[in-house]
Structure 1
Amino acid sequence: MIAWWQILLLTLYAGYEILDELQIYSSLNTPVGAGLVAGIVMGDMGKGLMIGAAMQLMVLGVGTFGGASKIDATTGTVLATAFSVSVSGLSWQAAVSSIAVPVAAIMVQLDVLARFTNTFFAHRIDHFIDTQNYKAIERNFLYGAIPWALSRAIPVFVALAFGRGLVQNIANALNGDLKWLGTGLTVAGAALPAVGFAILLRYLPVKKHIAYLILGFTVTTLFATMFTNIQTLGTGLAAASKGFTTVFNGLPMLAIALLGLALAILHYKGIPVSKAKSEIDAQSAEKTSLDANDEGEITDDEL
């Protein structure tokens, strides 16, 4: 059961997140941010982050230019998290494929409606520019936030307030007579992040930076295998000996992210990865700053 205060908080967040995406930029408008907020509100932050991360990876390579609309993965994440936590028998993978993705696609139409409605305030601003009524210009600029917020808040409120019974019936069917379909949706939900990576790689200059792609994939695979084996060994030792209390953690994604950041910095500064530190120091002592700039290197004071 979804409590009234949970519906209220998620509705308010849905209205805020689109305004954040348009102008505030606090990162709470991302699918991961939506999963975090919705997970905290619903009392299962882990499931919220799993759904948010899956949706975030799915839209990695999806962008919008000018006035174009794109799928609203954030709103889809909010509803998928809420129903996945409150509806029994609905896994987060199935929630992603059966709720988050369809909702994200449907929200494109409401995004267009919000843009269309905002033209009313845009024309009023044009009128007040001619009359030099600056206070009215400021008011109508702020009024434009109303249709944007309502375009997300209203569907989220309606879905959460009246849609739980329908989603519960769907979940029961997916775990009953339509078990084969539920299994397929679960597999599809788990595979969607790979689709996002494929779209992203389609637009990135992969051929130019193929070495970094190979290096990142290899390092991540080796670390994942090593940490998984160590974690399995620790679990076995803990089961065999009650006195063994050491905990082995899984692969820290922060370490992989920092490794990628280091490679990006090296590439940005134009320093080949294969050079030893002593060689770099020797070259820095011999070359003037002018020579360094001629080679395309970027010095620290230029960052």
Structure 2
Amino acid sequence: MGIEWWQILLLTLYAGYQICDELTINSSAGSAVFAGFISGIIMGDMKTGLMIGGAMQLTVLGVGTFGGSSRIDANSGTVLATAFSVGLGMNQSQAISAIAVPVAALLIQTDILARFANTFFAHRIDRFIETENYKAIERNYLYGAIPWALSRALPVFLALTFGGGLVNTVVSYMNSQLSWLATGLETAGAVLPAVGFAILLRYLPVKKHFPYLIIGFIVTALFATIYGDVSAVGTAVTGLSKGFAHNFAGLPMLGIALIGFGFAAIEYKHSMEKHEVVAEHGSAEQQETVIDAKGEIEDDEL
């Protein structure tokens, strides 16, 4: 199939925009799932884009930035993995482990470069503050978006323009001569989302809220079993009766999410009430965030 020039152009423009959105508007257009959605539409296979974007979103689920630190760029990795998976017929799991994750880690360096480049505009703004030149302050603030956008758009453009042939050659050789490596990369790509969950659980107050974790697991398992059995019965009945045309839906993930939201709202309300009591009657030391000996943040809600 290949990757057309207009697809390279649109993916490059989105790659430059998504980091600016993440730093300013924060409309979720700078998330891995959204990156997979947009890339899938551009490449003509939205399902593949969402599958790769969802896997990358889960992979970085527990990864965050603190202060001025840089993190792996899952969005750009998703864009390239989706483009090569759809354009070159690459296996989704292979694309995640062989392209998305390495690219996401490599672009930490361009992220740091963009931060350094922005200091130039920051110093110019400092000088204009002294002279009260507000128009120049606004201009240089907007100029700061240029290095940020280029830090993502340029690597994506170069990879899509010049990397397609190399990736195609590597994938063909790997699938034919190194099948063991291809299988290993597929397995690694499938396991990566679990790593994201593990990192997230490391930072969440699991010990404090383990009853909710148990309830969530049981509810999800029960719903999956019930809906799976009902769907199987519907399929069997359809085979016996041609007039039976009812379509059984799958597991309603929105329902699971709403159940989780309900528990989270209850816990948040209790936490707020407790915090108000401490604020009224407790000391300043009692109101500070408590971190146990193992590093778990207990008061994570506030």
Equivalent runs, 1:270-285 vs 2, <5 Å:
270=270
Distance 1:209 1:169 in 2: 50
- For the pair 1:258 / 2:258, whether they are aligned, the reply is yes
Q: 1:153 to 1:206 in 2, by over 3 A?
A: same
User: Corresponding residue for 2:181?
Assistant: 181
Equivalent runs, 1:122-201 vs 2, <5 Å:
122-201=122-201
Query: 2:171 is matched by which residue type in structure 1?
Result: A
Query: 1:154 is matched by which residue type in structure 2?
Result: L
User: Corresponding residue for 1:205?
Assistant: 205
For residues 127-150 of structure 1, the C-alpha deviation after alignment (integer angstroms, 9 at most, x for no partner) is 111222111111111100000001
User: Corresponding residue for 2:288?
Assistant: none
1:239 CA drift (Å): 4.1
Distance 1:236 1:183 in 2: 35
For residues 50-85 of structure 1, the C-alpha deviation after alignment (integer angstroms, 9 at most, x for no partner) is 111111111111011111000000110111111111
Query: 1:71 is matched by which residue type in structure 2?
Result: I
1:259 CA drift (Å): 0.5
User: Corresponding residue for 1:8?
Assistant: 9
- Secondary structure at the aligned position of 2:97 is classed as helix
- For the pair 1:41 / 2:45, whether they are aligned, the reply is no
- For the pair 1:63 / 2:64, whether they are aligned, the reply is yes
Distance 1:26 1:73 in 2: 16
Query: 2:23 is matched by which residue type in structure 1?
Result: L
Query: 1:221 is matched by which residue type in structure 2?
Result: A
Q: 1:217 to 1:115 in 2, by over 3 A?
A: same
- For the pair 1:52 / 2:53, whether they are aligned, the reply is yes
Q: 1:200 to 1:239 in 2, by over 3 A?
A: same
Distance 2:239 2:81 in 1: 36
User: Corresponding residue for 1:119?
Assistant: 119
Distance 2:130 2:14 in 1: 36
For residues 87-131 of structure 1, the C-alpha deviation after alignment (integer angstroms, 9 at most, x for no partner) is 12x211111111100000000000000001111111111111122
Distance 2:240 2:106 in 1: 53
Runs of 4+ residues deviating >4 angstroms: 293-296
TM-score of the superposition, structure 1-length normalised?
0.87
User: Corresponding residue for 1:87?
Assistant: 88
Number of residues of Structure 1 aligned to a counterpart in Structure 2: 275
Q: 1:72 to 1:222 in 2, by over 3 A?
A: same
For residues 161-192 of structure 1, the C-alpha deviation after alignment (integer angstroms, 9 at most, x for no partner) is 11111111122123211111111111111111
Q: 1:258 to 1:116 in 2, by over 3 A?
A: same
Distance 1:238 1:5 in 2: 46
User: Corresponding residue for 1:23?
Assistant: 24
Distance 2:235 2:168 in 1: 36
User: Corresponding residue for 1:283?
Assistant: none
Query: 1:22 is matched by which residue type in structure 2?
Result: L
- Secondary structure at the aligned position of 2:17 is classed as helix
Greater CA drift, 52-61 or 240-249: 240-249
Distance 2:173 2:25 in 1: 41
Distance 1:47 1:158 in 2: 22
TM-score of the superposition, structure 2-length normalised?
0.87
Distance 2:242 2:80 in 1: 43
Distance 1:159 1:241 in 2: 54
User: Corresponding residue for 1:281?
Assistant: none
